[in-house]
């Protein structure tokens, strides 16, 4: 990001509760308005994440998803409505975000992220927020973000449990990537999907809101980053636990070799 926009009078009123925070102020809000964030998935995590990022004034929001809305999605994917069933998720999200904040530019990518299009799509954004529901996409994002030097804020949920971390291994020692924790993805049979095992609807909101917070922090450069830490939430116990992540010299993505 280069030059920052001057805030208009309506923007000063809209973002007043941000601007009065010393950690944000007018300059910080201008940074949010100038920022470009790609959200991968307009599902359980992407729904609250997109809503809070739009409300925060992120100037350009990309959303990539090739799925259409099913009735079973509505228990947790709160950006969509009953009347939207059958509609492409990116179109439903675009319409909802326009109602939340018409100043935000929404770029819908109605396609599946693949090794063939990942770098082309990611290149247009500053930060990537991963709300995908499969290991293949998570690893693809991890590797592509490392190569392109893009900050990745990634979360996952299942049943009553969620976890979140920030990956920016390109910044050097002390900043691991996803493969530093899990060098290889488990088999498809090893971890059940949400459709198979279930997921608490409100859990998606908790982790999606945490993702939005971490994205905003990374844009502003405030607070303590989750890079090097995995934050785990147990909804049944009502507890948060934290695990340190160490950069592995033999990591297949960001290791010394």
pLDDT digits (tens, 9 = 90+) for 151-169: 999 999 999 999 999 999 9
How confident is the prediction for the chain on average, in pLDDT? 95
d(CA 214, CA 153): 7
Supply the pLDDT for residue 1: 46
- Kindly indicate whether the domain formed by 35-244 is annotated with CATH number 1.20.1250.20: no
Which tens digit of pLDDT belongs to each residue from 32-87? 999 999 999 999 999 999 999 999 999 999 999 999 999 999 999 999 999 999 99
Q: For the sheet containing 239-244, what is the strand order?
A: 105-109, 60-64, 36-40, 127-130, 151-158, 161-167, 229-234, 239-244
d(CA 244, CA 91): 38
Nearest to 208 by CA among 154, 151, 147, 127: 154
Active site residues: 194
Supply the pLDDT for residue 184: 84
Supply the pLDDT for residue 54: 98
The residue ranges of every structural domain in the chain are 35-244
Supply the pLDDT for residue 194: 76
């Amino acid at each position: 990001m280069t030059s920052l926009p001057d805030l208009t009078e309506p923007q000063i009123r809209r973002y007043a509760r941000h601007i009065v925070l010393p950690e944000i102020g007018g300059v910080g809000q201008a940074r949010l308005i100038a920022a470009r964030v790609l959200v991968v998935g307009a599902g359980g995590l992407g729904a609250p994440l997109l809503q809070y990022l739009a409300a925060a004034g992120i100037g350009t929001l990309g959303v990539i998803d090739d799925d259409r809305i099913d009735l079973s999605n509505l228990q947790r994917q709160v950006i969509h409505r009953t009347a939207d069933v059958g509609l492409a998720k990116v179109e439903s999200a675009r319409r909802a975000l326009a109602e939340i904040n018409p100043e935000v530019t929404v770029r819908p990518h109605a396609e599946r992220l693949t090794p063939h299009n990942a770098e082309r799509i990611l290149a247009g954004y500053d930060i990537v927020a991963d709300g995908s529901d499969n290991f293949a996409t998570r690893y693809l994002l991890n590797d592509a973000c490392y190569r392109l030097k893009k900050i990745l804020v990634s979360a996952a949920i299942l049943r009553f449990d969620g976890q979140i971390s920030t990956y920016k291994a390109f910044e050097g020692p002390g900043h691991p990537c996803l493969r530093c924790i899990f060098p290889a993805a488990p088999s498809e049979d090893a971890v059940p999907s949400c459709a198979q095992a279930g997921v608490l609807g409100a859990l998606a909101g908790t982790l999606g809101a945490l993702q939005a917070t971490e994205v905003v922090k990374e844009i502003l450069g405030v607070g303590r980053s989750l890079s090097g830490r995995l934050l785990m939430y147990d909804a049944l116990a009502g507890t948060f636990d934290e695990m340190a992540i160490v950069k592995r010299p033999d990591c297949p993505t960001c290791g010394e070799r």
